[in-house]
Structure 1
Amino acid sequence: MAFDTLRLILVALKFVVPFAFPALIDQIQVIIHKRTYKAVDSPKNVVVVGGSFAGVQVAQKLANSVPTGYKVILIERNSHFNYTFNFPRYTVLQGHGRLAFIPYDHITKSVPAGSLEHVRGSVAEIKQGTVILQSGEQISYDFLVLATGCSQSPPAKLSSTERSSACEELQGYQQSIERSDRIAVVGGGAVGVELVADVKSYYPDKHVTLIHSRSQLLPRFGPRLHRHVLGSLEKLGVEVLLSERPEIRTFKSEDGEKGSRGAKSLVLKDGRVANFDVVIPCTGQTPHSSILSTLIPEAISASTGRILVHRTLQVAANGKNPVNIFALGDVAETRGPKMARAAFFQASVVQKNIVSMIGGMKPSAVYKPQPTIEGSLKLTIGKTEVVTYCQPENGAEILLTSSKGRDDLEVERAWKFYGADIRDAGSLS
């Protein structure tokens, strides 16, 4: 443990030191920009589509750097910022769901007045120079940034776009779990692992099973993490079935109250049938890339469904490159980690290149994945255990554990990061 702690500190220092001076310069430029930027009538628009981790980050960075005469417009369909990191916990723990939805009202606090506008809506189509919303509203753009992310099955992400109905969605899972005796989760990624650990921690008498199609949990990470997580789940009493891709069949429960979401039977590869009151799938992601299917269909990868980009994060399309359109985050084919931290680095690349192009220069900032930092992970395993993990490119895995986890997962930090006050959570609509 002590050796891993030292190694993690050294990794952090190796990363932080080279970025410290540029970060200081950026902050000085932000302060100057706030004093010099002036809102004008009929500005040119830099439109950002998608208001999750990548979208908000790049919108704020751009708003803190575009010159007078330009404005950033952030388009997002959800009423509140969905803090998806806490969804697994709030799928189980009752009375906390509202804390996972942070109002967008405060994201303009850190930028000059008039430099950032938040528009709620869903994009129906993108044309050259114009974004068309489903409402029929048309928003022109000189530069377009796509941060539309991926869809996942609930509870990893929710189908509701209103905070109130999203909370009801979480409550439905909470109630279903509470009144069920046998619960299965299919998918051994971070969401599935956290979900089964939380169910077993808060309801230790329930039979909880995690089913994963591969031989290793959390397959994007190293074997040491798998071994540790597997051991922790077994200590909690979670049954783990690996290398299983079960067939799911729905049946009517004898007790009509159990499994309000439909009791199911799982047919395993050896023919055995296991019955559960609730089966929750936590598998697969679908990139929201169809937004480009009309304007530049060839920019969508045939193999992954993500948007093809150059190292500058400009959209790539077989030599027909729309230099004013960028993509970042989970929807972009960057070959880097698909983590929020990676999107933060990508946001800086997009921001620098757009500002350069506004100034008449060629985009020169390039995104180079940094797996050690961008691919690091903070994972909860039940009520109290927190695992911090990273894997240096040329070294053994680093894994640290703590027993200081909290029920709310310190969500107030997220509220503060996005400029909001968590004390307002109870009064928000």
Structure 2
Amino acid sequence: MVKFAVPYFWKLLIRRVSAFHHKWTYHASPSARNIVVIGGSFSGVHLGKRLSETVPTGHRVIVVERNSHLYYLFNFPRFSVIPGYEKQAFIPYDGLIKCAPPGALQFIQDTVTHIRKDCIQLASGGQIPFAYLAIATGSKQNFPENITASESREACNELRQIQKKIQAARRIAVIGGGALGVEISADIKSFFPQKIVTLFHSRDRLLHQFGPKLHGFVIAALQKMGIRIVLRQRPRVLPERNCLEWSSHREEFDLVIPCTGQTPNSTIVTGFAPASVSQETQRVLVKPSLQLQDARFPNVFALGDVAETHGPKMARAGYFQAEIVSENILNMIRGNAPNKLYRPMMEVEGAIRLSLGKNAWVLHVPGSDRDLLVSGDDGKLDLGINEGWNMMRVKMEDGK
């Protein structure tokens, strides 16, 4: 970890100096060639930001995103349980645009319906030609991350509706023992200790992709809180309202919260380059350079949760993949080969920090020899959402 940290922070300092210089040397052009990024969540935002700091005059970056704001999904479980913070989960893109050189970065709120060889088709009816394209469409997840509204005001209302359902329920079942299911179970029981919470998971370990050490710590913490945990069971929802059946058991709940699985948003690629979509995982197949596996499209890249990178499906991994894509696009603009290759760094990209109720948290860092666990009870009620606003270069009080 130390071997990685020192050169990384040195490189980060150089980037900031270079970005400052670039802001004064870049010149907007009406005939600039477009670098289009589809998707304005974590991977797409970082890629757009990095390209806007480095793209040469004669090119510009356009990020196309259906939502009006960055939906800060890390905090959705907490903000689905406690009221008063929901507005903070939706961060405007304005800060990134203001900090970029004029004309270098643009956000368009729209939905891409088709990808052509050299342009994208928008739901609004328009087209955007591109010289380079990056697909960062992420994945879909169940409650509470599956907010359907594309405008922040309506999305806030959806979170408030979830809060009301949780507050009104006494017996709550959470299905899925991944990070989302664990966090929302712990939050419900921590803030509303009188509620009866049952967490179901189909595997023999919670958070099974992170190994037994984290499972042991988390299950002990949840059981200490009084959360009932049912492993190796995938309950079936019966036609009766909120009635679950598993093995020989049948039980009624006031609220059932599904937190199972992620579905890659790869449909847009299926119609464009079907050979580049895995039949098994539905993720986009890419080369180590993160270009599409289909050699007919060397100027098209994919990154983040939608891409089959064989690395962790974490926002931090998307950050490092965005670095690879941005460097490869710049290399190609300069007439060089896209020779930057993505190699997952599990100790860095695979780390996860979980909230375990009102104040408790645990950090898990995978290691080649043994995993590292660090825990504490000094967590913030808003889970440090201000860090997200700082990342987007906007003050929370200035948000719209």
TM range, smaller chain: over 0.9
Partner of residue 3, structure 1: none
Question: Residue 130 of structure 2: which of 133, 137, 141 is its match?
Answer: 141
Displacement after TM superposition at 1:109 (Å): 3.0
Displacement after TM superposition at 1:366 (Å): 0.5
Structure 2 SS opposite 1:365: coil
Deviations 1:222-249 (A, max 9, x none): 1110011000001111000000011111
Structure 2 SS opposite 1:220: helix
8 Å CA contact 1:59, 1:72 repeated in 2: yes
Partner of residue 4, structure 1: none
User: How many Å separate the matches in 2 of 1:22 and 1:208?
Assistant: 46
8 Å CA contact 1:307, 1:333 repeated in 2: yes
Q: Is 1:114–2:88 an aligned residue pair?
A: no
Displacement after TM superposition at 1:379 (Å): 0.3
Question: Residue 302 of structure 1: which of 279, 282, 285 is its match?
Answer: 279
User: How many Å separate the matches in 1 of 2:186 and 2:269?
Assistant: 39
User: How many Å separate the matches in 2 of 1:113 and 1:131?
Assistant: 23
User: How many Å separate the matches in 1 of 2:152 and 2:143?
Assistant: 15
Deviations 1:186-211 (A, max 9, x none): 00000000000000011101100000
Alignment of 1:95-110 (within 5 A): 95-110=84-99
Partner of residue 156, structure 2: 167
Partner of residue 401, structure 1: 375
Partner of residue 197, structure 1: 186
Deviations 1:72-128 (A, max 9, x none): 001000011100000000111011111100011111233211100111100010001
User: How many Å separate the matches in 1 of 2:85 and 2:55?
Assistant: 38
Q: Is 1:418–2:389 an aligned residue pair?
A: no
Residue type of the partner of 1:162? E
Residue type of the partner of 2:284? I
User: How many Å separate the matches in 1 of 2:385 and 2:118?
Assistant: 38
Displacement after TM superposition at 1:14 (Å): 2.1
Deviations 1:225-284 (A, max 9, x none): 001100000111100000001111142xxxxxxxxxxx4111012x11011000010001
Most deviating of 13-22 and 295-304: 13-22
Residue type of the partner of 1:422? M
Partner of residue 290, structure 1: 267
Residue type of the partner of 1:357? M
Q: Is 1:272–2:249 an aligned residue pair?
A: yes
Displacement after TM superposition at 1:407 (Å): 1.3
Structure 2 SS opposite 1:108: helix
8 Å CA contact 1:87, 1:157 repeated in 2: no
Partner of residue 370, structure 1: 345
Deviations 1:345-385 (A, max 9, x none): 11110011100100111111100000110000110000010
Question: Residue 201 of structure 2: which of 198, 202, 212 is its match?
Answer: 212
Partner of residue 327, structure 1: 302
Residue type of the partner of 1:363? P
8 Å CA contact 1:84, 1:157 repeated in 2: no
Deviations 1:38-59 (A, max 9, x none): 0011210000000000000000
User: How many Å separate the matches in 2 of 1:295 and 1:312?
Assistant: 20
Residue type of the partner of 1:378? R
Structure 2 SS opposite 1:368: coil
Partner of residue 67, structure 2: 78
Structure 1 SS opposite 2:97: coil
Unmatched segments (≥5 aa) in structure 2: none
Q: Is 1:360–2:335 an aligned residue pair?
A: yes
Partner of residue 388, structure 1: 363
Partner of residue 16, structure 2: 27
Residue type of the partner of 1:386? W
Unmatched segments (≥5 aa) in structure 1: 1-10, 252-262
Displacement after TM superposition at 1:19 (Å): 2.4
User: How many Å separate the matches in 1 of 2:153 and 2:16?
Assistant: 37
User: How many Å separate the matches in 2 of 1:279 and 1:287?
Assistant: 24
Q: Is 1:231–2:206 an aligned residue pair?
A: no
Deviations 1:161-188 (A, max 9, x none): 1111111111111111111110000000
User: How many Å separate the matches in 1 of 2:75 and 2:239?
Assistant: 28
User: How many Å separate the matches in 1 of 2:175 and 2:10?
Assistant: 45
8 Å CA contact 1:83, 1:101 repeated in 2: yes
8 Å CA contact 1:99, 1:422 repeated in 2: yes
Question: Residue 60 of structure 1: which of 46, 49, 70 is its match?
Answer: 49
Partner of residue 311, structure 1: 288
Corresponding residue pairs, total: 400
Fraction of identical pairs, as percent: 43
CA separation of 1:207/1:250 partners in 2, compared to 1, >3 Å: closer, same or farther? farther
User: How many Å separate the matches in 1 of 2:166 and 2:22?
Assistant: 51
User: How many Å separate the matches in 2 of 1:369 and 1:415?
Assistant: 27
Question: What is the TM-score normalised by the length of structure 2?
Answer: 0.98
CA separation of 1:59/1:247 partners in 2, compared to 1, >3 Å: closer, same or farther? same
Displacement after TM superposition at 1:29 (Å): 2.1
User: How many Å separate the matches in 2 of 1:205 and 1:278?
Assistant: 15
Most deviating of 372-381 and 410-419: 410-419
Residue type of the partner of 1:42? S
Residue type of the partner of 2:348? I
Most deviating of 142-151 and 97-106: 97-106
User: How many Å separate the matches in 2 of 1:28 and 1:364?
Assistant: 24
User: How many Å separate the matches in 2 of 1:133 and 1:290?
Assistant: 15
Q: Is 1:178–2:167 an aligned residue pair?
A: yes
User: How many Å separate the matches in 1 of 2:9 and 2:145?
Assistant: 34
User: How many Å separate the matches in 2 of 1:414 and 1:122?
Assistant: 24
Structure 2 SS opposite 1:279: strand
Question: Residue 344 of structure 1: which of 305, 311, 319 is its match?
Answer: 319
